[in-house]
A and B are shown apart, each in its own frame.
Chain A
């Protein structure tokens, strides 16, 4: 009995230490923004934010797997752009939306396999592999499109990035939250998630525990590649145009969300809920500052300060 309650209490404490702290920060930010801007706490705007973060959130799910396994993927922005270009090219060439989508997903898969293989079998640090593929894939985008956007895509493709479910909830929001749910189950509730975390926390011990370390390492890059493909599709659909220069710097936005969500760059630590909250927090800050029309010079300053405060407050909440 007593044991039971202690366990529950401890569980709650652990939750507090991680996600609840961030949740409080997020709510606090929302309250502040709602106070200073009448346009913030509007259903429509809140849904808007979820659509704005949908790309980062989707890619962040893949990145979280990579980070949990102790690696990093800098190529996510280029991969997303390339997949977007491939989708647009496929749609324009074949006239079939689904072929375009399939091509994008296939390419994402391929990029993941290449990254993973170079990391695992050629034993090159993932930072270097993905730095190289980041450049290579961006170059391929540029060569493929000759540096110019591919436009005039079929209007019906815009559903993914710009459409609504029930006339109010953005499709992109629904898609990204579904993916979050899938990754939540995969990472917190299946052995695969446990294995990925184990590999990142202590690779040697994971090997000794009869885990297929190499296979899982490739797998996380494949997950990242696929999520990039979906992210690229959302971007392309939103603009109804594939930009070869799309998603430049996406890796930093995604990493920020993941790390703000409590993940550790050295692997083994991080949660889906944390990543969700981290990405939302950054989205809310961006949106709120834009609504307040804070000049771009000051936005960066204010954003930096908010992030530092958020982490400090979260930490202190945790140790209370």
Chain B
């Protein structure tokens, strides 16, 4: 497939950049103290390390506070409409495999109105990196519950509490055949960067759930697990090839139990009983089980890469078909096409 008109994207070495090169000239307009800032910083600091070109990088977003993200990156970017970023990014990524396409959105944008595009992008394994900023609230519209808000949540649109069970974004993604699923949070720059890098490196669709604090409408939603002083006991780091273990002294761990997983005290069961994390299992069942450990951010919650398997990216297959037809039939010949049905001459 020859896209002669498209920029060939520089054959010289990727230039060395620094954070400032990735910062756009736009004033950042989130509320002071918003968790989005630290995510932005993490990514802007990471980009120079990825060895990618700014002009080959595109951020696509929907609408919401999170969705303002593209404005602040000195890359290409589209701030589209509510919920549709995964669909738009799908078209862009399929058309332009030379680009790195990132999708950024909030829990409302991507799980409420955009839920269908999200699960289909994951299923198809489109080569995009999805960052889901989950603050469990609608920020931009000033505080209604979202599909990740806990049951009973009191908000402007649920004055005596919401009635709905929330999605667990990791479970949903795994149920939708996602090939890469990770979780991180806005209080740990290093961990975010690790997850973003892994998402970037993954062929096909990757989704990273980022617990993000909305200090205006849902302040402290993740405090119980992400605050520095509780983190060790409340976050369960998933590390490929390692037994899943956490706690200030590593006193807790995760072990299989009745088809799922449960938290155990290492002292009780011994290290060998701990589940050794294997993010590359073809069968997503264990990854799914891990996603069930915490129903909400009030119990010890796994962070890290739940699942990372290479199962073939959609665009490659799609472009393969163009190539196949080209090699079967030669490059398109318009005259031949027009004459392909029975013709007669007067």
Task: Judge: A and B partners, yes or no.
Answer: no
Taking beta carbons and an 8 Å cutoff, which residues of A are in contact with B? none
Q: Which residues of B contact A (CB under 8 A)?
A: none
